[in-house]
């Protein structure tokens, strides 16, 4: 583990030894990469959003001498094309994409690591294909229920009223009782300039609420058009369809993965995905280990959360759950 003066809990930066583009249908092509040990234990990183995309820092949660680290940008995200595309973009299709990637890379089973929407997708994928999974590391739990979607749209104002006021500023008062539909009309209308600005407003709203301590530079990153188009369009799209899942499906189907080892890492002061969802998941799945980080919000890179995630990957390595 990294013990340099920066006291970062992450492993040192590393570069992919292989990457490529996977064509999954006539519309979507996915960027993927592999890092670490080519013959190591496979681990799959699932990014958040939907629409968030991967970054180089995401490679650093894993010991590169032990793990074969696989990362990819989901449909409409990051370096996958087309950016922000919502057609043929559903949770079942994302699950099918993961299986297509697994088969292409000739992986029999892998540890699945995901945060926020990445944790949602990890649970949905695991419940659809438990035979492909070695275990799970999950952060910032989002179960994609109606209550959680309403919290994002309205409830976060309790903690971040300034950010919420900016989020609704461009929406006329008479439309604010249904913010999701108001955003839908602007995000997916014919006015490209309005759609881009609306995506930027959505993305900056989320970026403003991620951290326990303010991080203005992160808000600027979320305001970048490339980031905003992925997050703003895809999050709204998935919220409009409740993640393409039945209400509380991920809790209902927990029996399908109960036998697999899992670690849940949750920020105590997570305003985007409040701890009640992680607690509910743990109540339904007490075999999973729950770690509440007392000085963290939602972001993976907050020191306590990052340290707990690295500790989880190390725990899986040292206890050799995979053998």
What tokens appear for 147 in the block? 């209550």
Helices (H), 40-160: 91-104, 117-128, 146-153
What tokens appear for 75 in the block? 């449909």
Instruction: Confirm whether 77 is a catalytic residue.
Output: no
Q: Choose the catalytic residue: 116, 132, 208, 277.
A: 116
**In the chain, what are the helix, strand and coil shares in percent, each to the nearest 5?**
45, 15, 40
Residue by residue, DSSP assigns 138-198 as EES-----HHHHHHHHTGGGGT-HHHHHHHHTTS-GGGGGGHHHHHHHHHSSS-HHHHHHH
Determine whether 272 is exposed, middle or buried from the number of CB atoms within 10 Å of its CB (0-12, 13-18, 19+).
Answer: buried
Of 139, 168, 140, whose CA–CA distance to 273 is shortest? 140
Mode of pairing for the β-strands spanning 29-36 and 67-72: antiparallel
d(Cα 89, Cα 27) in Å, to the nearest integer? 10
Contact 37, 63 (CB under 8 A): no
Instruction: Confirm whether 80 is a catalytic residue.
Output: no
Instruction: Confirm whether 270 is a catalytic residue.
Output: yes
Contact 267, 298 (CB under 8 A): yes
Classified as helix, coil or strand, 309 is helix
Of 261, 187, 268, whose CA–CA distance to 228 is shortest? 187
Q: Choose the catalytic residue: 28, 253, 270, 282.
A: 270
Catalytic (active-site) positions: 116, 270, 298
């Amino acid at each position: 583990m990294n013990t340099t003066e920066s006291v970062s809990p992450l492993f040192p930066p590393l570069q992919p030894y292989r990457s490529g583009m996977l064509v999954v249908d006539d519309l979507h092509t996915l960027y993927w990469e592999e890092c670490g040990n080519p013959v190591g234990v496979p681990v799959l990183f699932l990014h958040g959003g939907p629409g968030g995309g991967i970054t180089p820092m995401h490679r650093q949660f894993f010991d590169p001498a032990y793990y074969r680290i696989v990362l990819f940008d989901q449909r409409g995200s990051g370096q996958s094309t087309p950016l922000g595309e919502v057609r043929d973009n559903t949770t079942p299709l994302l699950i099918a994409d993961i299986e297509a990637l697994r088969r292409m890379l000739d992986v029999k089973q892998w540890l699945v690591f995901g945060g926020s929407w990445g944790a949602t997708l990890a649970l949905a994928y695991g419940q659809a294909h438990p035979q492909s999974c070695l275990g799970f590391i999950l952060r910032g739990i989002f179960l994609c229920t109606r209550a959680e979607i309403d919290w994002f749209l309205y409830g976060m104002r309790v903690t971040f009223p300034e950010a919420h006021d900016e989020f609704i500023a461009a929406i006329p008062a008479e439309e604010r009782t249904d913010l999701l539909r108001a955003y839908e009309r602007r995000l997916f209308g014919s006015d490209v300039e309005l759609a881009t600005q609306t995506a930027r407003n959505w993305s900056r709203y989320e970026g403003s609420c991620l951290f326990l301590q303010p991080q203005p530079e992160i808000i600027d990153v979320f305001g970048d058009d490339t980031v905003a188009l992925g997050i703003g369009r895809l999050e709204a799209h998935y919220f409009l369809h409740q993640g393409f899942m039945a209400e509380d499906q991920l809790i209902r189907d927990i029996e399908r993965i109960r036998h697999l080892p899992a670690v849940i890492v949750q920020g105590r002061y997570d305003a985007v995905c409040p701890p009640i969802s992680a607690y509910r998941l743990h109540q339904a799945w007490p075999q999973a280990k729950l770690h509440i980080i007392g000085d963290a919000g939602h972001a993976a890179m907050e020191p306590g959360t990052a340290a707990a995630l690295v500790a989880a990957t190390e725990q899986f390595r040292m206890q050799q759950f995979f053998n």
